[in-house]
Amino acid sequence: MRFYLTYTEEVKQALAAKSPVVALETTIISHGMPYPQNVQMARDVEQIIRDNGAVPATIGIMNGKIKIGLNDGELQEFAERGEVEKVSRRDFSYILSSGKTGATTVAATMIAADLAGISVFATGGIGGVHRGAEDSMDISADLKELAQTNVAVVCAGVKSILDIGRTLEYLETQGVPVVGYQTDEFPSFYSRESGFSVDFRTDTPEEIARMLQIKWKLNLQGGAVIANPVPLAYAMNHDKMEEVILKALHQADEQHIAGKNITPFLLNSIKQLTAGKSVETNIALIKHNAEVAAKIAVAFMKQQPRAQMGFV
> Which residue ranges make up the annotated binding site?
86, 106, 138, 140-142
Residue 151 vs 171, nearer CB to Mn ion: 171
Residue 105 vs 269, nearer CB to a second copy: 105
Identify which range of 2-10, 25-33, 130-138, 292-300 contacts Mn ion by CB under 5 A: 130-138
Q: Which residues pair with 177 in a beta bridge?
A: none
Q: Say if residues 210 and 303 touch (Cβ distance below 8 Å).
A: yes
Identify what 220 binds: a second copy, Mn ion, none; CB under 5 to 8 Å per kind.
Answer: a second copy
Is 262 a binding residue for a second copy by CB under 8 A? The answer is no
Mask for 218-257, x = binds a second copy (CB under 8 A): xxx-------------------------------------
Is 4 a binding residue for a second copy by CB under 8 A? The answer is yes
Identify what 218 binds: Mn ion, a second copy, none; CB under 5 to 8 Å per kind.
Answer: a second copy
Q: Work out which of 19, 96, 265, 268 binds a second copy, going by CB under 8 A.
A: 96
Q: 67, 171, 182, 71: which is closest to 118 by C-alpha?
A: 67
**Amino acid letter, residue 189:** F
How far apart, in whole angstroms, are the C-alpha atoms of residue 45 and residue 235?
19
How far apart, in whole angstroms, are the C-alpha atoms of residue 110 and residue 118?
9
Shortest Å distance, C-beta 142 to Mn ion? 10
Shortest Å distance, C-beta 304 to Mn ion? 33
Shortest Å distance, C-beta 140 to Mn ion? 6
Q: Work out which of 134, 138, 203, 239 binds Mn ion, going by CB under 5 A.
A: 138
Q: Give the residue numbers annotated as catalytic, written as ranges.
A: 25, 159
**137-166 residues near a second copy, rule: CB under 8 A:** 137-141, 143-145, 147, 166
Burial-class residue 3 by CB neighbours within 10 Å (0-12, 13-18, 19+).
Answer: exposed
Cα 200 to chain centroid, rounded: 20
Torsion of CA 218, 220, 225, 227, to 10 degrees: -40
Tell me how many residues contact a second copy (CB under 8 A): 53
Shortest Å distance, C-beta 269 to Mn ion? 19
Mask for 189-208, x = binds a second copy (CB under 8 A): ----------xx------x-
Is 135 a binding residue for a second copy by CB under 8 A? The answer is yes
Is 101 a binding residue for a second copy by CB under 8 A? The answer is no
Which residues make up the interface to a second copy (CB under 8 A)? Answer: 1, 4, 88-94, 96-98, 107, 111, 115, 129, 134-141, 143-145, 147, 166, 169-179, 199-200, 207, 210-215, 217-220
